[in-house]
Amino acid sequence: MSTLPVIAAVDGSDDSLRALDWALDAARGRGVPLRVVHVWQYAAAWTSPGVLVAGPPDPAKDEVLDQARKHVEDPADRPVVEYLGLQGAPGAVLPELGSTAQLLVLGSRGRGGFASLLLGSNGMAAARGADCPVVVVPRPGREVHDAPPAAPGPRVVVGLHVDSPDEATLAFAFAEAARRGARLQVVAAYPWPPQAWASAGELLPPVIDQDAIENETRVLTDALLVPHRAHHPDVRTEPYVAPGDAAGHLVAASKDADLVVVGRHRRRLLAPARLLGSVTQAVLLHAASPVAVVPPTGSEE
């Protein structure tokens, strides 16, 4: 079991305090320390080219970390907590913290974001670039429509692409469900209807039977879950196979879920930078529950 800490990124906003609460529970459940980090971005003042007259604030007088200390001082069963003030651009510093953590947690939007944004740039940068899973905790009150019926009780949701499954994402989701005593809802969407063009402007009807595609997706889903079910026999899985957009199904399933788990886009030959796939971005923007973005294994990225 990893002894690396859970890291909570705070900036004094209500969003970051919600993330801190989530991270506190995660560290407690894992039996590891919690590291609370504030990245202090300051604007230096220059009187003339090359002459710096105002440097960074004193890290010992970090009011954001003082607020975090007060926020977590009450729980009697809290894990070991350490506080760290760093200086720099949060969008650059936060992803780098992933190499020293087993989990990086932050709010969906910090103090510097525009009110109209559903996800701040720091959250997007961390989810895209960190070496560890990143959990983004949304603001409460996000509305989700067309949610499938779900039984009461703790539930973790994971997205599964049967054509290119990500073992790291499945492993994380099973472990998280086991840790929470939750059932695992596995969302496997398939595109429908397939489109074929005979000539300009002429759309041919699908020649593939939808039932056959759905059955094949279900068979592949069950096969991909076999090793993970064997490793976590106490986790009850609920495959959910449906046609259409994967992001839409995952967002709908996020209603009343404890966590939605998605994978990060694998690095492509012609796109060497780390990327977030369109499904992952949509889930981060619209899910009602916290979202965990899991990086691929080292050999795959």
CATH 3.40.50.620 boundaries in the chain: 6-137
Write out pLDDT tens, residues 240-286: 999 988 999 999 999 999 999 999 865 444 444 455 578 898 999 89
Amino acid identity at 225: L
DSSP 5: P
Residue 48: strand pairing partners: 51
Burial 214-252 (b: 16+ CB within 10 A, else e): beebbebbeebbeebeeebeebebebbbbeeebbbbbbb
pLDDT of residue 198: 54
The CATH classification number of 155-300 equals 3.40.50.12370
Write out pLDDT tens, residues 182-223: 999 999 999 877 655 555 556 556 567 888 899 999 999 999
CATH 3.40.50.12370 boundaries in the chain: 155-300
Place of tokens 């995952």: 250
pLDDT at residue 292 is higher than 90: yes
Residues 188 and 221: their CA atoms lie apart, in Å, by: 7
- CATH number for 6-137: choose from 2.120.10.30, 3.40.50.620, 3.10.20.30, 3.40.50.300: 3.40.50.620
Residues 90 and 73: their CA atoms lie apart, in Å, by: 25
Helix and strand numbers, DSSP H then E, in the chain = 8, 14
DSSP 277: -
Residues 264 and 266: their CA atoms lie apart, in Å, by: 6
261 vs 146, 174, 264, 284, CA distance in Å? 19, 10, 10, 10
Mean pLDDT of 225-251: 95
Task: Report the mean per-residue pLDDT for the chain.
Answer: 83
164 vs 81, 97, 193, 242, CA distance in Å? 39, 28, 20, 17
- DSSP, collapsed to helix, strand or coil, labels residue 1 as coil
Write out pLDDT tens, residues 89-140: 888 899 999 999 999 999 986 554 444 344 567 888 888 889 999 999 998 8
